[in-house]
Amino acid sequence: MKKFATLMVASALMISGCALAPTYKRPENITAAEWSSMQGETAPQKKGADQRLATDIPWQDFFQSPALKTVIQTALTHNPDLKSAGLTVQKTQAIYHIERSKLLPELTAGGTGNYQKSFGGTTTEGYQAGLAMPYYEIDLFGRMKNLSQSALNQYLATRQAQKSVTISLIAQSATAYLQLTSDLQTLALSKESLDTRQQAYDLVDKGYQNGISTRQDLAQARIALESSRVNTILYTRLVQLDKNALVTILGIQGLSEIPITAQLDEAAVLSDIPVGLPSQVLLNRPDILGAEYALKAAGANIGAARAAFYPRIALTGSLGYSSTDLGHLVSSSSAGTLGIGPSISIPIFNGGRNKAMLKAAKIDQKMAVVTYEKTLHQAFKEVADALAARKTLGQQLEAQGMLVQASQEAYDLSMKRYTEGIDSFLSVLDAQRSLFASQSAEIDLQRQELANRISLYKVLGGGITPEAEPETPEPQV
C-alpha cells in the first residue's frame, strides 16, 4: 500500500507538467493599422485638448452637463438590464468557485448510533463517529484544473459583458435625453411658429376685411396656420414618447427628479476625443476582451476533453471511533479506525463519446476565434463610421446655420414687401415654410452632432476607467 501511494505521488508530479490544453496565442490583429485607411484622414486634435484616450476618460469627466450626469447616474442605479448583467456575473463567479472547489478534497463529519434488544432481553449498543473523504480525484492530467480555468475565463468574460452593458447604457441614456431635449426645442419652435402664423393670418384677415388682401391670400394664410398647428401637435406627442422611452431606460417611475432642459446648447459634452491607434483602442474594449476570455475558456475545455481519454485515480478515506458506550466514544477505551483506498477507472469503450466531446471542444475553439475576429471587425467599423460622421456633421451643421440665417433674411424681406403691397402673401408663406424647415433641421443636426460625440466616446471604449483584473490563483493540490 505504501509503495503504491509513493508511486502514485511520483506519477502525479511527473504528469502534472504535461499540458493537454493548447497554448493560448492571441489571434493576429486583422484590422487596419490606421482609422484613416477606411474613412479618410481624421481631424487633428486641437492644441490644449485632452490627450487621454477615451478609455481613460470617466463618463463624469466626459459629460459636462449636470442634467446629463443626473440622467446617467440614475440609469446606472436603476436600469434593470444592468442589474441583470450584474447578477449574471455573480452567477458565473459562483460556478467558477464550484469548479475550483473540486481541486481540493472534500471532508464530511458524521456519526451513527445503533440500539438493539433481543427477545431474550439482551441489549446491545454501538456508536460511531468520524471524518470521511467521500471522493477525491487526483488531477493527474489537468482535467479538473482545465474545467476550473474554463469557468474562470467564462466569469471574466461576463465581467467584460457587464462593462459593455454599462458603456452602452451610458450612451443610450444620454442619447435618449438628447432626443427629448431636441424634440422639446422643436416643440417650442413649433409653438413660436404657430403664434407667428396666427399673427400673419390675423393681418391677412384684416386686410381682406378692408379689401386689401384677396380671398386666396386668406386661404393660404389659413393653410399655413393649420399646418403649424399640426406640427405642434406632432411634436407634443413625440415629446411624450421620448419621456416614456427615457423612463424605461432609467428604470424609474417618472421624471420628476430629472432636470429637463429644452435647449441642446445646455447639454454640453467634450468637443474633442483623442482617437489613438486601433491597436491601442480596440484591444481594450470590453466586448473584445470578453471575446478573448471566451476563446481562452474554449482552449481550456479542449484540455479537459483530452484528459477524459486518460485514467482517473481517486481516493476515498475515513477516520473515526466506535464504542458501545456513547459517553466513551472518543476516549482512550474506544476503538479507532483509519481507512484509505485508491480507485482507478480507465476509459475503454463509451461509444465514441470522448472523441465526439474533443471534436466539439475543438469546433467551439474555432467558433470562438471567428467570434473574436468578427467582434474586432465590427468594433473597427463602428469607430470608422463615427469618425466619418464627426467630420461631415460638423461641416453640415455649419452650412445649416448659414441656411437658417439666409432663410430668416428672406422671410423678413418677404413680410416687409407684403406689408408694403409689393408682393403677394404667397411669397411670405414660402419664406415661412423654408424658415421653419431650416430651423428644425438645424436643431436635429445639432442633436446628431452631440449624439455622434457620445457614440464615438462609446465605440472607443469610453465610460469606465480601466481596472486591473484581479488574479485568481489556483489552489495547490
pLDDT in tens, 245-303: 999 999 999 888 888 888 888 877 876 777 766 666 777 889 989 999 999 998 888 88
- Of residues 21 and 293, which shows the higher confidence score? 293
Using 50, 70 and 90 to split pLDDT, how confident is the model at 169?
very high
Kindly tell me if the per-residue pLDDT of 367 is higher than 80: yes
Does 176 map to a domain? yes
- Three-class DSSP category at 121: coil
- Determine the pLDDT at residue 450: 93
- Lowest-confidence range among 216-230, 243-257, 364-378, 454-468? 454-468
Instruction: Work out the burial of residue 1: count CB atoms within 10 Å of its CB; fewer than 13 is exposed, 13-18 middle, 19 or more buried.
Output: exposed
Residue 436 lies in a domain: yes
279 domain-assigned: yes
The segment with the largest mean pLDDT, out of 23-37, 122-136, 205-219, 320-334, is: 205-219
The tens digit of pLDDT for each residue in 110-158 reads 666 666 766 666 777 666 666 676 777 777 777 888 888 888 888 989 9
Sheet containing strand 123-138, strands side by side: 108-117, 123-138, 312-323, 335-345
pLDDT of residue 37 exceeding 70, the answer is: no
Distance between CA 303 and CA 19 in Å, rounded?
8
The x, y and z cell numbers of residue 50, run together, are 485632452
Domain-embedded: residue 325: no
pLDDT range class, residue 42, cuts 50, 70, 90: very low
Find the mean pLDDT for residues 205-223.
85
In this prediction, residue 119 carries a pLDDT of: 65
CA separation (Å) from 44 to 272, 312, 355?
9, 62, 56
Give how far Cα 343 sits from Cα of 8, 11, 346, 348, Å.
11, 15, 10, 16
- Find, among 436, 380, 384, 383, the residue nearest to 408 by Cα: 436
Confidence bin at 1 (pLDDT 50/70/90): very low
From the number of C-beta atoms within 10 Å of its C-beta (0-12, 13-18, 19+), residue 381 rates as middle
Give pLDDT, residue 403.
94
> From CA 256, how far away is CA 276, in angstroms rounded?
40
pLDDT higher than threshold 70 for residue 320: no
Residue 352 DSSP label: T
CB 332 within 8 Å of CB 321 = no
**DSSP 3-state of 108:** strand
| Res. 17 pLDDT band, cuts 50 70 90 | very low
pLDDT band for position 96 (cuts 50, 70, 90)? confident
Would 337 be classed as within a structural domain?
A: no
DSSP-derived letter for residue 63 is: B
Residue 323 lies in a domain: no
Domains of the chain: total: 1
The verdict on residue 432 lying in a domain is yes
Asked if the model's pLDDT at residue 45 lies above 70, the reply is no
Residue of higher predicted confidence among 402 and 18: 402
Measure Cα distances from 150 to 127, 157, 270, 301, 361 in Å: 44, 10, 40, 6, 12
Per-residue confidence at 179, pLDDT binned at 50, 70, 90?
very high
Please name the helix (run of DSSP H) or strand (run of DSSP E) that holds residue 116, with its range, or none: strand 108-117
Please indicate whether residue 30 or residue 196 has the higher confidence score (pLDDT).
Answer: 196
Cβ atoms of residues 303 and 19 within 8 Å: yes
* Residue the block writes with cell 476582451: 289
- The CATH code of the domain that includes 399 is 1.20.1600.10
Residue 348 has pLDDT above 90, yes or no: no
Residue 71: the pLDDT is 94
Q: Could you read off the pLDDT of 412-423 as tens digits, one per residue?
A: 998 888 877 788
Beta strands in 324-398 (DSSP E): 335-345
Mean pLDDT of the chain: 80
pLDDT grade for 43, boundaries at 50, 70 and 90: very low
Q: How confident is the model at residue 240 (pLDDT cuts 50, 70, 90)?
A: very high
Q: How confident is the model at residue 170 (pLDDT cuts 50, 70, 90)?
A: very high
Task: Check pLDDT > 90 for residue 339.
Answer: no
Domain membership of residue 345 (yes or no) is no
Pair 140, 310: CB distance under 8 Å: yes
Q: Give the residue with greater pLDDT, 3 vs 126.
A: 126
Residue numbers of the domain that contains 392: 27-94+142-197+237-309+353-459
pLDDT confidence of residue 230: 94
